[in-house]
Structure 1
Amino acid sequence: MNFELSKIYHGFKLIEEREVGEINSKARIFEHEKSGARLLNLQNDDDNKVFAIGFRTPPNDSTGVPHIMEHSVLCGSKKFPIKDPFVELAKGSLNTFLNAMTYSDKTLYPIASKNGKDFFNLMDVYLDAVFHPNIYKYPEILMQEGWHYELNSKDEEITYKGVVYNEMKGAFSSPDDALYRRIQESLFPDTTYGVESGGDPECIPDLTYEQFIDFHKKNYHPSNSYIYLYGNGDLEKQLKFIDEEYLNEFDKAQVDSAIGVQKSFGEIKEVRHEYPVSPADECKDKTFLSLNFVIGRNTDPELYLAFEILEYLLLETQAAPLKKALLDAGIGKDIYGFYDTSILQPVFSIIVKNSNEDKKDEFKKIVFDTLKELVQNGIDKKLVEACINIKEFRLREADTRTYPKGLIYYTKALECWLHDENPLTHLEYEKSLKNIKTALNTNYFEKLIEEYLINTKHSSILILSPKAGLAEEKSEKIKKKLSEYKASLSEEEIDKLVKETEALKERQTSGEKTEDLEKVPLISLEDINPKSEETPIEEREIENTKMLFHSMFTNKIVYTRLIFDTRAVEKELIPYIGLLSGIIGKIGTEKYSYIDLANEVNIYTGGMGYIASSYTKYDKLGEFIPKFVVKSKALVDKIPKMFELLEEIILNTKFNDKKRLKEIIQEMKSRLEMAIFGSGHIVAANRLFSYFSEAGKYEELISGLEFFEFIKTLERNFDEKYDEIVENLEKISTEIFNKNNLLMSIAGEEEEYKEAEKHIPSLLNKFNSGTLEYKNYDFQLKICNEGLLTQADVQYVAKGCNYRKLGYEYKGSLQVLKTIASLDYLWNNVRVMGGAYGAFGSFGKSGNMFFGSYRDPNLKETLQVYDNLENYLMNFDADEREMTKYIIGTVSNLDTPLTPPMKADRAITYYLSNITDQDIQKERDEVLKTTKEDIKGFANMIHEAMKQNCLCVLGNEAKIKQNEDIFFNLVDVFN
């Protein structure tokens, strides 16, 4: 259908229409005349359609009201009055994305689906949720999702409980997360960006029900909304639905949600904060130093893009001059940058980790001296070219990995749209990129450095220092506050709290009315394609080396994988394989210094990556193949140079650069620390697998906590271990990078393959092809049941085993069990009633299974929930509609959209794991045919699995020690 400017379509007036070549879309901007809602449509041929509605939601304090509201509106609405329609959708839709997000100044509700009927269903539930939530009827929603006083009986101590409260306790436990929050606070003391939209745990209990309701009344009006439609959907039908079902009932209103601008300070403002470490920990070398600068407005497209490139140039690439200067001076052990464009006044930060407060002045001096030197002498043009090239490659590739492409475009659009500028500003990047490319023969970036960094008028220096025992102090302070609060209450007030706790639990445990459940729309099994997608893989051969070709459209980009078997490496040296993956490509070679190498890679390719991993043979219990994968990608005309660089890196890396080797190991330790705080559930699950799985033990040695211990030891004793490190890296490189170990993979169209084929023999003939002796790794597995001690305020609780070792086989219906366990049983018992931020189950084809929780205030209680799953399954009852819902939700996970390199990686996994297309089809058939009896039949397996009593908990030191009777071993993770 053709649309005409200024015409009205179902209440929406078309304001603007134009082609946006950069994203291959036709863009249309509408305004809904009656309600004042804004709408952006990006029409294209992408069948993964995206709908989103967002609101400008700047908070005035740190009670977390925008974040709590984001959770709460999804807890039932006028049209869909059940307690958790969000979970019902997750269980029973074909969504490819379903979530909600709170930012510093906005709250977004996006969904995506390839199925047209499903897309409208999701849109309906989300629109009713934001405009007609049940928060007005049930104060218990705020209690559950935000916070409440928990008091089960008069004699108990009062505690705080709530999903967001525990989520933010977990977030504030991470020093890296705390640093980002304090940076914003230091730069914007007078605007909304100076408070915590997610909620500070110390402030969350200040939020009242009245303030909560007022926030919704003010901000969740169509006049304050930003609606988005993306993909190949029927736009007229979508507009008609949104208008007739929702917007037509609202009149335009004035919503005062504009975001103010912070006045500059005129000088560098100094701010200090503390973060907790264990009382037993050393505080030396654990301080963060951060220099932070406000960079114009995020509505300036060229400045916005230029500083994205400049941040990478100064601090992220291996050739980054500012990073090098700070490392050379020994200011800290890890240096990185941060450029936040999501807020009106973007922030550029230079961060030093694992430093000391007495380095503050030297840090500042080196930063400004280095920046002045770059301005005076000019930035190396090859470095400029490399950084522009890699940014342009990523813009054009549009590989978003985690999120649908359409959602990334929405967040980019909002960075201007939210501030009353054109939403297409950052999507149309060609003009800005063209201007930035003048930096190849001008002092473009030098001028930016001078104006926004050297001559800054708005900046801060932040010192975040460790304090031993701070977590215990805060815990005692909260305990005392709650004790005093209880002492101040009358008998009647205490009774009231007990009754409120009971009322909340009654609501949480009560079932839903069948008629209400049936109001949530559901597609039918007939809407699902019964056929699984075929794996794009074809075996070929070049120079007696097996090639896997993945034929697919890649927009003239060729994706290569060099997959080396690592079984020739002896058992004692396995951790060095993980070390090799972190070092290779970041250190010099015979031909290039590490700086020149980084520039060459970024100029001629889209990047290279090095991954130590393993693949499980699913047809042979306990058998796995360890691999080292070298990933690369380049445009077709750059293929020769890509292979030349691969050869140089793989065969000619020089590990004996002592200074550089030390820098990389220090950085690896720092990044592993960040991962432990950011992904505690994954750390606990992987550690758990190492107790009973051969592949799990191997992964623990190359990337888990055991690898972290290895890296800590190398870093602590680097000088005395230096010769040993170099010798072992050289030894395993020879044992890994051998032609007899190699399997290659190429993804692209036939034309790309033929071009690559011309240059592969030259590479292959350079490899050593000596005889290798493969080792059989005997790990002598044993259950350890560890408590992993940190200063986090929450837990990550994992329990599991290998069900195949108990005599059970993998079936597709196990994936339906995963959906039921994760989104029904565990959601209700661990999240809703337990207050954890998340809970989930997993059943792998290898036999590894586990249950896990995320940012969980509990420990023993959660383990008891896992143990009780067998009873739930024995009594499991679901009618045909419920079973259909669970099956659809499971198929949604099977059909997650994949980018070309992700498809190639999955094909490689199937190939190495001996999984055929017939196996995948069989799994799908079993999912689609799953019955209630199948689910009930898993009760005995769960009973046997939980009886193994194999568990691992990462979390709060005091909490774990209170429950130390359940552990065989306690491990101080960071000491």
Structure 2
Amino acid sequence: MSSKAPVAATSPPAPVVDAVPQELLSRFRVVKREFLKEHAAWAVLLEHAATGAQLVSIEAPSAGGGDEKVFGIAFPTEPSDSTGVAHILEHSVLCGSERYPCKEPFAELLRSSQQTFLNAMTYPDRTVYPVASLNEQDFRNLVGVYLDAVFRPRLSPWTLMQEGWRLEPSEEDKSRFKLSGVVYSEMKGVYSSADSLHAMACGQALFPGQSYGVSSGGDPAAIPSLSYADFVGFHRRNYQPSKARLFFWGDDDVAERLRVVDEYLTLGNIHDEEAHANGAGDPLPSGWKDPQSLTSWWPPGGARTGEATAYSPASPSDVVDEASAAAAAAAAPWTEPRTIRVEYPAAVSAEDDAGADAAADVASAAAEAAGEDSSGHFVTVCWALPDGGVGPGDADYVSDADRLGLQLVSALLLGTRTAPLHKALVDSAMGTAVTGGGLATHLRQGVFEAGLKGVWPAAVGAGPEDDQDAAVQAAVQSLVMDTLAATAAAGFDADHVEAELNTLEFAVREFGAGGTPKGLSLFLGAAGSWIYGRDPIDEMKFEDALAELRGRVEADAKGYLSGLMQRFLLDNKHRVTVHSAPSRTLSARLNSAEEAGVASVVSGMTPEDQAVAAEAAAALSRRQATPDTEQALASVPVLTRDALRRDAVIVPREERLLSLGDAGRCQLLAHALPGTNGIAHVAVSLDLGARLPAHLVQWLPLFAQLLTTTGSATRDDVQMSHRIGAATGGVSASAHASPVPGRRDVARLSLTVGGKALNHRVGDLAAIMQELLLTAPLAARQDLLRSQVRESVAATESALLSAGHRHAMSVLGATLSFPGELAHVMGGLPQLRFLRQLRARLESKDAAVAAAAAAEAQEVMEAIRGMALAAAASDAAAPGGADSGALATVVAGEDAAAAAGDAVCAVLRALAEQAPAAGLPGSGAASPSGVVGVGHSVSASLSPMAAMGLAGGFAEAEAAAAAGEGPRRVAVLVPTSVSYVCEAGIGFASPGEGVLTEGPEAGGAPLAAPAESHVASSLLSLGHLWDSVRVQGNAYGAGAAVDAVGGSVSFWSYRDPRIGGTLRDYATSSTWLRAGTGGSDPDAVDRATISAVGGMDKPASPSDKGSQSTSRWLLGITDEQVQARRDAVLGASPQSAADLADAIDQARSGTDGSGHVCVVTGKDIARAEGIIGADGKAAPGWQVVDAFKGERA
């Protein structure tokens, strides 16, 4: 990408702020105004005269993304302990304020706003509150609610007990107490993830004794040390107007921006201590005490951070009360590197008795396949970089060009699989995946981190008699340091530098071009530096720095880049090697400590104190269950249906059927769209359904990964990586299982290869795609095969802990439809099982076993390639999912779409010409319908799960239902202290299953669920489930969803402390939807309609619009049907809620009165919930899958 590419139009004559009435403008001091050529917008930095608060006002034209208006406010909130006060406060200020006194204005806005973004985030040193909307009145409403929330919240003890922590009687045994709270539950989930624990340990080890050295989110072991007084005091000190940093982006009224900001800054940070203390109008029980007074000696969380970083929660007198948190000093540089060892809870099977820690060598893949623990050591080398200063006069000053240069160095070292440091770490075979990710700049001081996880002593040559911890740590540290030194001495290849420089330029120019509003991206990117005194407008510019960086690289790439490595890494003594070792007893010890701590606290309470605590918890529950008054609800401004746009967004699409000569035909979908910034996106989709046998489905994700990472016949993996980086913005491949409307028993299974490039480089992009599809060596490179399999196993295991609800829904999806089964095989637990088994064979100490595995992999890869080429040679794909074939898609500007279409169709022509005539190895019989599936009769013979020897596939579930068997109940055990609880069933019958399509949608795709169900599911998610599962049940998240194509209704929860209670809440959903205070409330339906339409109207990038258009085409959804479904949403009524209630009853009509259930949970929770017994065996009716022990289920 040329640095001379045009980026903006000429500047307007003057910013609009100049036209603001002087009486209003005089309340601010204009510090700086500048036209940002990068964003074609005026940016003005103002300072509020009365308070010193700073405001950035960006006047963005509608055509440049200004139609999506963005507001944000940031406060420096550096914590001094790990009680999570900043995080809990972020939740709490959104729980009612002076002007908006309902219990949760935030939830009301979610229910009734057209917001395109509405959230709040806590960083280690700041808290930010951003909102966005396309509707100007809606945007003003959001801004007003958020400003009142941050400056005038009603911080009652009820709020701390709900959002933070509380002691309450156990549901099962009222004589026993337990800890609860939304943030408490959230952080229990965070502290269950080995990846999260290791990442936190790295930050804390780099900055001991500073705010970055504690847990800003909150350590569950320390959260109960937070007192109500400290909670309120933290807000008083840190949410001062003088510390506020406010931001506007968009085409809204600039004078209105200044007026509302001036109003709230003038009012200031209001604290009515008496009102707060007495419960903000909701009196506390007589004799109530600050909860922290009952737990002031709460055991410190030293076990979290290891021997060298133990800490105890701060007392109120220890809390820092600086004039400004922004004045906090940067960390003093170290004179010598350090090392630290910590522990994390390793996976333990249900049958284990949690005996002594074992350092068993499960690097032996054969041992793991037999059921050994798959955990391993984490070792990451971490650097703290200079804070960069605020100007050239500072000793630690880092110029904007050098900051980009450090990003370039990080990408050169770790940005691709072939980058030297990443490659050295992977090729060492010492671990399963790279950790660290290189440079991170979101805090005051940048950090650089690199290392490995999944490291075992045997893999580094350590024997039983050696100091295994020391060996693991030293091996990884030496590898990192030696590779850095060798790379700095040799320099980077010129083509590698050009490739990564091109990729970097793509990244900065496409900043905010994805799903995140552009203004929000700018705000979040600038806020971290802004609170420390740097110029926020400068943080939004890149053209000059990019040109300077390119000039330095072109003048002396080796000298410049190696110099940055030398200064910031090799010569930097502020370095620590963090070693996280697996402990098979830590989880049990922490759980026992928590239980003992609660028991000790309760035993130290008087009977009167216990009664008051129980009554406070009960009163909180009653308060949560009591609806807001009409007056309180009316305080939150809402739009009316009249303000909603009637017309659906239709993406223009040209459909062309092109001849590929003797090779067949190509279906082209071309999207000529504005706003592409001279970048074209192209893709080819090859339908494999009529060719791929069931037993090869599990191989498809690996094929897609190897296709773009192993090089080609003429370029090795390193050369191809450089070629892709230099000529394109990236190339990717993926496998997808898509539904076919009207049929749950068939699916479209396809391989998609695509990428993006500047318009004039689309020919290069197409040539690369063709080269990869035809000649990529795939599994022929056994070293690359092994490393890819290792990394895929590690990534899937991490996802099980961080996104357990997705895996639980995947399990349920496999029982509900054939597309769901395919998706489960390719991305769920069966894929993890397959990859583990393949890794065991590839890494077997028996050379014959390893060779046979590699040979089989290559044979399968070539077979899949042959099937893909055959798809290119077949007739063109058709809408509706019924036919197999080839599809080409293009998203580009009007001046480039035609040429891009020709280029991508040329790829298909070349593929078709190379297609094998017949006799594809291992292809098996084609399914009768032309798509992977079972045609008109259900048969397990084509089930990919049955082919893997696994239960739980779609055909099996259908047969079980026909035989009158009950729904599935599956528990997936992982090392976690929270649960992910999901339930699903078929609620809406598909038109292809006996229900005729009627009304305005006739003639389009036979979708199962009516459009209005989207309104009703939103109403249910943000109403009943929000109140019962999140607020009262303390889950971090919960919701319901309807699959319009397949007709399923599903429930999910996230980081949930309960299982049985949550399932009971799901069971009452249909009753709530029919109730006058729930789904049948016309006002509630109106609000949900506004929210649903807002979700439909979220802005999308050109590439996302093209993807949406393509998906609709594949499903057979016509433009008329899109409009009809929008009309149906706009016309939603209480009957829509009643219809969803009927669908939920249908989905939960199993023999036990429920739907299919899957929970991802921990062993101790499963035992407490009665899912497994004391012997570790599954309770009747439950199937237990031990995800980290490779159980065959």
What is the CA–CA distance in structure 1 between the aligned matches of 2:515 and 2:336, rounded to whole Å?
Answer: 40
Q: Output one character per residue of 1:622-641: Cα deviation in whole Å (capped at 9) or x when no partner.
A: 43211111121000111121
User: Which of 590, 593, 596 is matched with 2:713 structurally?
Assistant: 590
Q: Does 1:329 align with 2:428?
A: yes
Partner of 2:892: 748
Q: Does 1:571 align with 2:661?
A: no
Larger Rg computed on CA atoms: 2
Partner of 1:439: 553
The one-letter code of the counterpart of 2:859 is E
Partner of 2:666: 545
Partner of 1:244: 263
Cα distance, 1:63 vs structure 2: 0.3
Partner of 1:396: 509
Q: Does 1:28 align with 2:44?
A: yes
User: Which of 115, 118, 142 is matched with 2:160 structurally?
Assistant: 142
Q: Output one character per residue of 1:354-376: Cα deviation in whole Å (capped at 9) or x when no partner.
A: 11342321222222222222222
Q: Does 1:312 align with 2:380?
A: no
1:820 aligns to what SS in structure 2? helix
What is the CA–CA distance in structure 1 between the aligned matches of 2:869 and 2:204, rounded to whole Å?
Answer: 49
Retained in 2: the 8 A contact 1:5–1:16?
A: no
Partner of 1:264: 333
Partner of 1:651: 774
User: Counterparts in 2 of 1:197-276, with a 5 A limit?
Assistant: 197-247=216-266, 255-257=323-325, 258-276=327-345
The one-letter code of the counterpart of 1:247 is T
User: Which of 385, 403, 408 is matched with 2:498 structurally?
Assistant: 385
1:839 aligns to what SS in structure 2? strand
What is the CA–CA distance in structure 2 between the aligned matches of 1:748 and 1:693, rounded to whole Å?
Answer: 35
Retained in 1: the 8 A contact 2:111–2:1088?
A: yes
Bigger CA drift: 956-965 or 65-74?
956-965
What is the CA–CA distance in structure 2 between the aligned matches of 1:408 and 1:827, rounded to whole Å?
Answer: 28
Partner of 2:199: 180
Bigger CA drift: 770-779 or 352-361?
770-779
1:765 aligns to what SS in structure 2? helix
Q: Does 1:711 align with 2:835?
A: yes
2:33 aligns to what SS in structure 1? strand
Q: Output one character per residue of 1:640-683: Cα deviation in whole Å (capped at 9) or x when no partner.
A: 21111111111101120111111111111111122222211111
Cα distance, 1:151 vs structure 2: 2.1
Retained in 2: the 8 A contact 1:4–1:14?
A: no
User: Which of 369, 375, 381 is matched with 1:291 structurally?
Assistant: 381
Partner of 1:861: 1061
What is the CA–CA distance in structure 2 between the aligned matches of 1:29 and 1:922, rounded to whole Å?
Answer: 46
Retained in 2: the 8 A contact 1:548–1:746?
A: yes
What is the CA–CA distance in structure 1 between the aligned matches of 2:491 and 2:1143, rounded to whole Å?
Answer: 67
Q: Output one character per residue of 1:160-192: Cα deviation in whole Å (capped at 9) or x when no partner.
A: 000000101101111111111111100100211
* Cα RMSD after superposing both structures: 2.0
Partner of 2:1096: 894
What is the CA–CA distance in structure 1 between the aligned matches of 2:523 and 2:1128, rounded to whole Å?
Answer: 37
Q: CA 1:483 to 1:757, structure 2 compared with 1: closer, same or farther past 3 Å?
A: closer
User: Which of 432, 437, 454 is matched with 1:354 structurally?
Assistant: 454
Bigger CA drift: 631-640 or 60-69?
631-640
Cα distance, 1:469 vs structure 2: 2.7
Structure 2 unaligned spans of 5+: 1-14, 271-320, 353-357, 364-375, 390-397, 457-468, 660-664, 843-849, 875-884, 919-924, 934-941, 944-954, 958-966, 996-1007, 1172-1178
Partner of 2:725: 602
What is the CA–CA distance in structure 2 between the aligned matches of 1:330 and 1:463, rounded to whole Å?
Answer: 18
Cα distance, 1:400 vs structure 2: 4.5
User: Counterparts in 2 of 1:449-528, with a 5 A limit?
Assistant: 449-528=565-644
User: Which of 630, 653, 678 is matched with 1:556 structurally?
Assistant: 678
Q: Output one character per residue of 1:773-810: Cα deviation in whole Å (capped at 9) or x when no partner.
A: 74343432325421000111100000011223487841
Q: Output one character per residue of 1:307-355: Cα deviation in whole Å (capped at 9) or x when no partner.
A: 2222221112122101222233333221242422111111100020111
Q: Does 1:825 align with 2:947?
A: no
What is the CA–CA distance in structure 2 between the aligned matches of 1:152 and 1:570, rounded to whole Å?
Answer: 52
Cα distance, 1:881 vs structure 2: 3.0
Q: Does 1:852 align with 2:1052?
A: yes
Cα distance, 1:3 vs structure 2: 3.6
Q: Does 1:367 align with 2:480?
A: yes
Cα distance, 1:725 vs structure 2: 0.9
What is the CA–CA distance in structure 2 between the aligned matches of 1:155 and 1:525, rounded to whole Å?
Answer: 47
Q: CA 1:760 to 1:611, structure 2 compared with 1: closer, same or farther past 3 Å?
A: closer
Q: Does 1:129 align with 2:149?
A: yes
User: Which of 77, 82, 86 is matched with 1:66 structurally?
Assistant: 86
User: Which of 13, 31, 36 is matched with 1:15 structurally?
Assistant: 31
What is the CA–CA distance in structure 1 between the aligned matches of 2:268 and 2:104, rounded to whole Å?
Answer: 25
Q: Output one character per residue of 1:36-70: Cα deviation in whole Å (capped at 9) or x when no partner.
A: 21101121122000001110100000000000000
2:78 aligns to what SS in structure 1? coil
User: Counterparts in 2 of 1:642-681, with a 5 A limit?
Assistant: 642-655=765-778, 656-681=780-805
User: Which of 1004, 1009, 1014 is matched with 1:815 structurally?
Assistant: 1014
What is the CA–CA distance in structure 2 between the aligned matches of 1:313 and 1:87, rounded to whole Å?
Answer: 44
Retained in 2: the 8 A contact 1:292–1:348?
A: yes
The one-letter code of the counterpart of 2:687 is D
The one-letter code of the counterpart of 1:428 is K
Q: Output one character per residue of 1:553-610: Cα deviation in whole Å (capped at 9) or x when no partner.
A: 2111111011110111111000111111222111121011001101000100000111
User: Counterparts in 2 of 1:21-60, with a 5 A limit?
Assistant: 21-45=37-61, 46-60=66-80
Q: CA 1:61 to 1:805, structure 2 compared with 1: closer, same or farther past 3 Å?
A: same
Q: Does 1:734 align with 2:750?
A: no
Retained in 2: the 8 A contact 1:63–1:204?
A: yes
The one-letter code of the counterpart of 1:167 is E
User: Which of 511, 519, 540 is matched with 1:427 structurally?
Assistant: 540
Cα distance, 1:737 vs structure 2: 3.0
What is the CA–CA distance in structure 2 between the aligned matches of 1:139 and 1:399, rounded to whole Å?
Answer: 39
How many residues are aligned here?
A: 972
| TM-score normalised by structure 1 residue count | 0.97
Retained in 1: the 8 A contact 2:51–2:265?
A: no
User: Which of 121, 131, 137 is matched with 1:117 structurally?
Assistant: 137
2:642 aligns to what SS in structure 1? helix
What is the CA–CA distance in structure 2 between the aligned matches of 1:262 and 1:481, rounded to whole Å?
Answer: 35
The one-letter code of the counterpart of 1:632 is G
What is the CA–CA distance in structure 1 between the aligned matches of 2:17 and 2:102, rounded to whole Å?
Answer: 39
Q: Output one character per residue of 1:743-801: Cα deviation in whole Å (capped at 9) or x when no partner.
A: 00011123212322453454233213456774343432325421000111100000011
Retained in 2: the 8 A contact 1:693–1:848?
A: no
Retained in 2: the 8 A contact 1:298–1:341?
A: no
Q: Output one character per residue of 1:802-835: Cα deviation in whole Å (capped at 9) or x when no partner.
A: 2234878411111111111110000000000001
The one-letter code of the counterpart of 1:873 is L
Structure 1 unaligned spans of 5+: none
Retained in 2: the 8 A contact 1:20–1:27?
A: yes
Bigger CA drift: 430-439 or 692-701?
430-439
The one-letter code of the counterpart of 2:416 is T
Retained in 2: the 8 A contact 1:643–1:760?
A: yes
Retained in 1: the 8 A contact 2:138–2:639?
A: yes
The one-letter code of the counterpart of 1:576 is W
Cα distance, 1:853 vs structure 2: 0.1
Retained in 2: the 8 A contact 1:619–1:914?
A: no
Retained in 2: the 8 A contact 1:152–1:498?
A: no
What is the CA–CA distance in structure 1 between the aligned matches of 2:348 and 2:417, rounded to whole Å?
Answer: 36
Retained in 1: the 8 A contact 2:892–2:900?
A: no
Bigger CA drift: 106-115 or 638-647?
638-647
What is the CA–CA distance in structure 1 between the aligned matches of 2:211 and 2:807, rounded to whole Å?
Answer: 35
1:290 aligns to what SS in structure 2? strand
Partner of 2:372: none
1:34 aligns to what SS in structure 2? coil
Bigger CA drift: 328-337 or 527-536?
328-337
What is the CA–CA distance in structure 2 between the aligned matches of 1:799 and 1:866, rounded to whole Å?
Answer: 8
| TM-score normalised by structure 2 residue count | 0.79
Partner of 1:913: 1115
